[in-house]
Each structure stands twice: as C-alpha cells, then as structure tokens.
Structure 1
C-alpha cells in the first residue's frame, strides 16, 4: 500500500480547478507537454506521456468542467509515478500512459458541466461537433490505447445500493450495444473494476457503487468500448464531511494506481467478472441535508413530512459556494441525509449558527 500523503499535489485543492491552477503542475512533468487542440475559446489543451511500456493507457479528466476531483487525483498519481517506489518503476516500465488532465478548460473556468457552447462533451462522441471532442478522438486514434480511463465526478445524491452508505467511488464498464452484452472488451474492464473495488473495501467498506450501464452511443466511454478498447468510468463521489473532495481524490488516486498495477503485472485474469455484479448499483437516496419535523419551523409544511435539501454549487470569487435548495418534500421514507436535522421546539429550532441559511430557507418557505 502506498503512502498517499507523500504524493498529494499540494498546489491544487478544493473544487475549483481551472487551467491556470495547473500551471505549477505542468512543471513537474519531465517530458514535454503534447498540445492536442484548442478549446472553443482558444485555450490550448495539453496531454502528456509517462512510461515506455507496451501496454498503453489513455486517461482524461475534466471533460465536464465542474468535475475536478479526478484532475487532482491525476496529479497525485504523477507525483507517485515519478518517485523511486518500485511499483512506480514497474508501471512506467510496463506501461505508456497518455493523460489529458483537463479536456474542457472553458467549462472549468466558469465551473460548468458543458463547454462554452453549452454542449456536453460526453454526449458528442458520435457527432464530434466540438473542438474538444475532436481533440480527444484524435488522441485516441493516434495513440491507439489498450485501455481507457474516463475520469469524472458524481453528485452527492448517490448511495452505494439501497443502504445508508454514500457512493464515495463508483465505477462502470460501459455497454457497447443496446443489449448490454458482456463482450470480451467489456469483461476486461469489469475485471479491472473488481480489482479496484477489492482494494477500496479496505478503505471505504460498503461505499463503492456501480454506475448505471444504460447504452448511449453518444457517450465517449460507450463509443470507445464499441471500438474494442476496455474502458473504465471512474466517478468521484461524496465522503462524509468532504465537500471539497480531498479524501475522495486520495481514493481515486489509489484506484488509478491499483488499476495500473494490475495491468502492468498482467493480473487482470485473476479477477472474476461475476464479482463486478456484486458491487451494489448506485441509488439516488441521499440529500445533503434531511430535515425532519419541519412543521415545527413553518406550519406550511405538513406534519409527517420531511424536507430534502440539496446544495447547488456556485462559483463565487474563485471558490465554490454550496447554496441550499429544497429538492423534495414528503414522507421521504427510505431516503438518507449526509446530515440529518430533527427540528425541536425552541428559539433556534435545533439549528447551529452555520446552518442559518438552511433555517432561513425553511422559515421563508411559501412566503
């Protein structure tokens, strides 16, 4: 097990990571950066190579501009691979990595999922209408990878199965047809996921989920799987009290390194496809805050109902602010809260000073 604390990239942290934030990271790469294209706004998109091995792995992050956790994890991985660790040396000897740390720099600047043309790049794999999509496809075609890692974030609403456990990390081996057949390519990706899940259970037992495998040939992962390249979707989710996703970045870094270790050591076949389906599917069972007995605060709420609040992420002064919004009202049985507040009959209703914004939202409901 690697000592992650030795390799965490301290120059980038939090949720707002744009192209400017990566400038100090680029200096850590011993090999020259590879320009692969430009964004709609003309920002150059870079990739870099590490390693000299025959097994080629392509990975890309921040295809969605507001999904920055895997970008941080990718640079943590770089720091590890450039160390003297025997595992790092083995990976670089057996593998060649091509990494695109930020595919959507325009979206990253303004903290949006889409690019500046309001196009979701992960729904542009077939039509290739955007320069960023074309850049990634060109890298795929020229590099001819043996494996692809599609690096993303997911919302806080996901649980790992139908239980009170957040899906802190989720994976998917994308389908390559509407029937969702388990093709040989898809099976390889499943086995890699099983290997990563086995490692993660030592860190976050019960907090690994399996992402929905509905087929969409406009999605990049589905397309690359269709082209017979084993593709793994990584989804960075919520760890308790970690809205900046600093713990999750560690877990994603460890997962990437574990997958590379399995690839480098030719151990993929030691894992079973059936174990992939034992990973619980993601369920949408979480609110950021679950308010019980809200009628004590405001009689507009019906007795016996709860209020589910989710945070909206807003870019303010180069930081992400988490603004509460009422997402659902009702019995909400079977739902969970990353934080649960049961209102009490007193002047502060059981809320702390840090929860004043939530209290005001409830007090002003329907006014």
Structure 2
C-alpha cells in the first residue's frame, strides 16, 4: 500500500497552515455529522465548545485527543485527514470502523488554539494538570476517559523545530513515546502494549522518513496526561509531529500523522506482544535538541577593534498576524555551534557583519543584517 499517496488523497483542503482554531474546525466537523456522531461534550474556560467525534462500532476502544496545547495544530490536521479517510467507502476504512470504536476530542483547548498559546485561558499547561485536575478541559478529558473506559489512549501533540534524531543530522519529523508508569521507567504489560503499536507504526513510516523518526524522552511525571493514564493501566501513545524540510506550515508533516494513525489500526491482535518489540522500540533514535532554524557560519565581526570569526543561529518566533501565523527570525545563540545543525545553513565565508550600524549580532534581535555592505539578509534569509 502506498500510504503517502493515501495521505495526500485524503488531506482535507479546508485545514491548512498553522492557525487552526475552533472556528476553523467546526464547519469541517459538522460536515461529518451525517456519518459520525458529532456532539458538544463540554466547554472551555472561556465557554468555547469542546466537541467529541465518535466513529465505529468495534470491540477495541480508542480515546484520541488533540490540541491540548493550543499552538500545536499539526496532529489536529492529521486527525481530520483520518476522519476524511474513515468517511470513505474503502475496504480498509470499513475494516477499521468494524474493529474499533474511536472517541476523538479534536481540540481539547479551544481557548489556547484561538490565542495561539500552549496554555489554556487560565495560563495552565493542561498536560501538567492530570492529577490536580484544576481546569475544566482536563476535568472533561478525565470524565470522558472514566466513562468510555478505553483500551488505548492516543495523545496528539506537536514538537518544536529544535528536535532532531540522535546520531543523525535529520529533523525529527514524527516522534513517539510509550509513557512510563513509574520513576524507574520500567516496562510492564500495559506499557508494552503501547510499545507494540509504536513499533507497528514505525515499520510503516521508516520507508518514508529514513532517520526522521524519534523516540520522545520518557522521564516520568505523573502530572502529564500520558503518564497518568499509563499508571491507570491504559496503554497510552504520545504522538509528536515535528519538522519536515521546508514545511514550516506543517502541511507535509500532517501526512505522516495520518500514516501513523492508519498504521496503528492495521495490527489486529492488540494483546499479543512480540518478543523483540522492546528491542525495536529502543532502537528508535531518541529526540535530540540539535537543530536551529537557521545557522550562519564563518561570520566576521569587529569586537573592541578586534576581528573575530563567529557562528550564530536564529530561531523563528511564531506570531498570529491578520489571522495567519507569521515567522520572525530572532538571533538565539552565538557560539561555535559545532554540534548543531540548521534547517537552513549559510557559509558566510568570513564576510563582515553589520546590522543597523552594529558590528556584531545581538541576542533577541531580528536576524536582519548585511555582509560586506552588499549581501543582505532579511528576517533570517538571504535576499537573492
């Protein structure tokens, strides 16, 4: 099966870019109401509707939620692409719907999604509220969990462009984690069920993303939703959608979320754990903070009348302007950068730096400058 062609075919055209909020998804969600059960199940801090989409009638129950961090929309787009596929008349779609019952909360944090913030309207990270349960959104998720009694949980997120795969100079385009259930990060039967599904997804994805699949840090924190549900003996899988080359709007990355979702339902014997699954899981390269958006190498500066050759890096800050996410390249590190990679890199060949009369870069300022008073860089990128 050509999974990438399938992902491209069912990519929902009404959800693009990085600013995905309640007003964006509601008409799309309602378009599925004649095939799936779509209903409001609660409200956010600011009284915004939180929806549930129920699909299928199978024995195995999966609880899926996305965008509990409001500025992490890629998995939401991938989830709607998956809805689009399940609404089709294909044999595989019918098979999934007959074997599984899916209960999906496509946007747990609508306030954060509109404000384009990680936290909810009270400034709380919902993914650290699993035990305290102080926020209405987390109360709703846990109530849904207790009523539905899922066999598995899928916790869908985005990760920053800083992550690569350990041992490779490749971005971590998608990463997974079977969350720990104790501080020793041991593997019990519950965690191993999550490991099995992750291995199945990676086996499908690796032909499309060589060296671009990561394993997320499993440091235990029971306040995190995935760790909490694992301690409740429900296998939980963390999905982290990351950077794909030249895809800052993540309309390519979403395809790999879709592929992962489809692949996760292809293995039917959920309770059978293959002996070498843990070995395969631990071979997935760990996420490594080894990337910047842009790196400039071999820049000449003048510091106290002394010429020096330096390297520096810029990272994009994301801001919503006129209903779209804009990317502003900000100088974020000045050092040798020997162990870092840039999604874009420039060898500046010892040319002299200048920015608004300043002879050296300054942390926190926009990466707009020129070299030798002739080669210009605007918002991080070279003007050609």
Distance 1:283 1:302 in 2: 33
Structure 2 residue corresponding to 1:28, chosen from 32, 36, 40:
32
- More helix as a share of residues: 1
Structural RMSD (CA): 2.0
Aligned counterpart, 1:60: 65
Matched, 1:201 2:223: no
Pairwise mapping of residues 1-367 of structure 1 onto structure 2 (< 5 A)? 1=1, 2=3, 3-26=6-29, 27-29=31-33, 30-262=35-267, 264=268, 266=270, 269-270=273-274, 272-295=277-300, 299=303, 303-344=308-349, 345=351, 349=371, 355-358=377-380
- Per the TM alignment, residue 162 of structure 1 is displaced from its structure 2 partner at its CA by 2.9
Q: Which residue of 2 aligns with 1:363?
A: none
For structure 1, the residue ranges without an aligned partner over 5 or more in a row are 361-367
Classify 1:224/1:349 alpha carbon distance in 2 versus 1 (closer, same or farther; 3 Å).
same
- Residues 11 and 24 in structure 1, CA contact (< 8 A), matched pair in contact too: no
3-state SS in 2 of match to 1:181: coil
1:48 counterpart SS class: strand
- The 3 A distance-change label for structure 1 pair 48 and 302 is farther
Cα contact 1:115–1:121 (8 A) shared by 2: yes
1:152 & 1:302 partners in 2: Cα distance?
A: 45
Distance 1:159 1:327, change over 3 A: same
CA distance in 1, matches of 2:36, 2:159: 32
Quick check: 1:162–1:285 contact (8 Å CA) kept in 2? no
State the shift of 1:24 in Å. 2.2
Greater Cα shift, 318-327 or 27-36: 27-36
CA distance in structure 2 between the partners assigned to 1:260 and 1:231 by the alignment: 14
Aligned-partner SS, 1:246: coil
Q: Deviations over 1:154-190 (max 9, x none)?
A: 0000011132111000000000111111011111111
Question: Deviations along 1:273-326, whole A, 9 cap, x unmatched?
Answer: 211000010110000001112225x65897343102111111111111111112
TM-score by length of 1: 0.93
8 Å CA contact 2:175–2:216 kept in 1: the answer is yes
Counterpart-to-counterpart distance in 2, 1:8 and 1:284 = 30
Deviation at 1:352? 7.3
Distance 2:375 2:166 in 1: 31
Gaps of 5+ in 2: 354-369
Most deviating of 35-44 and 205-214: 35-44
1:183-221 Cα deviation digits (max 9, x unpaired): 111111111111111111110111000000000010000
- Tell me: CA distance 1:327–1:82, structure 2 relative to 1, closer, same or farther (3 Å): same
Structure 1 stretches of 4+ with a deviation exceeding 4 A read 265-268, 298-302, 350-353
1:202-248 C-alpha deviation (Å, 9 max, x unpaired): 10111000000000010000000000010000000000000000110
The answer (yes or no) to whether the contact 2:192–2:273 under 8 Å persists in 1 is: no
Q: Residue 357 of structure 1: CA displacement? A: 2.3
Listed one character per residue, the Cα deviations across residues 15-69 of structure 1 (whole Å, up to 9, x for unaligned) are: 0000000122112232332322110000110111000000000000000000000
Shift of 1:5: 2.3
